[in-house]
Amino acid sequence: MLVACWSAKGGSGTTVVAATLALQLARHDANGAVLADLAGDAPAVLGVPEPASPGLAGWLSAGADVPADALARIEVEAAPGLGLLPRGPGALDPGRAGVLAALLDRSPRAAVVDCGRVGDPVVAAVVARARQSLLVTRPCYVALRRASQSPLRPTGIVVVNEPGRVLSADDISGVVDAPVVATVEVDPAVARLVDAGLLAGRLPRSLSPLRDVA
């Protein structure tokens, strides 16, 4: 099962949502889960030392002769039951993005991909093959307008809600033309844990609306 998380505007909370979904799946699925990081911030958010491996960028640019176990070789353990495929340095070569998506989708473990912001062809290929394509957004009209103009279609929307915003779930659904599947309130405890790289150790209750999303 492949779940792609993406945003139309930076700083929406995509990495936090993707990491949370992956941590929840890892806890509740006997097979564990994997988080594939196309955006590059997952090690920092999960408190994993920046891996020295070539990462997904290296795997994507290695061509079709790459050994069958090459993905497993770049994986690091981020939490009990949760493997992390770090982004690694360099550009993302779109040539084998479809192969990557198919491998993640066919894996016995649930795979969550932190796609970051839309616009990269690798992200488009991964989102196109995902069982769930989750737009992560603040209730912000500028971000929603960009999402509605994007060629990527979400199957669901995760709203990271800030105090004082006036757009309702119905408004958001209407602009993007997809259902709101979860709303997470902005919580200073989340920001503190992210800044300290401690999210993997303790998921605050404010993130529990994500439990049934993936």
Ligand X SMILES: Nc1ncnc2c1ncn2[C@@H]1O[C@H](COP(=O)(O)OP(=O)(O)OP(=O)(O)O)[C@@H](O)[C@H]1O
| Distance, CA of 154 to CA of 164 (rounded, Å) | 25
Burial category of 117 from C-beta neighbours within 10 Å (exposed 0-12, middle 13-18, buried 19 and up): middle
Smallest gap from residue 67 Cβ to ligand X (A): 30
The interface mask with ligand X, positions 16-55, x = CB under 6 A, is: x----------------------x-x--------------
Q: Which does 63 bind (CB under 5 to 8 A by kind): ligand X, Mg ion, none?
A: none
Comparison of 14 and 132: residue with beta carbon closer to Mg ion = 14
Number of amino acids touching ligand X (CB under 6 A):
19
72 CB contacts (<8 Å, ≥6 apart)? none
DSSP state of 209: G
Q: Which of 29, 93, 105, 187 binds ligand X (CB under 6 A)?
A: 187
Q: Which does 190 bind (CB under 5 to 8 A by kind): Mg ion, ligand X, none?
A: ligand X
Which residues are paired to 79 by β-bridges?
A: 82
Helical residues (DSSP H) of 131-199, grouped into ranges = 141-149, 169-176, 188-195
Strand runs labelled E in the chain = 2-7, 33-37, 76-79, 82-85, 110-117, 132-137, 156-161, 180-185
Smallest gap from residue 15 Cβ to ligand X (A): 3
Footprint on this chain of Mg ion (rule: CB under 5 A): 14-15, 39, 41
Q: Which of 38, 176, 190, 203 binds ligand X (CB under 6 A)?
A: 190
Residues that bind ligand X (CB under 6 A): 7, 10-16, 39, 41, 116-117, 160, 184, 186-187, 190-191, 194
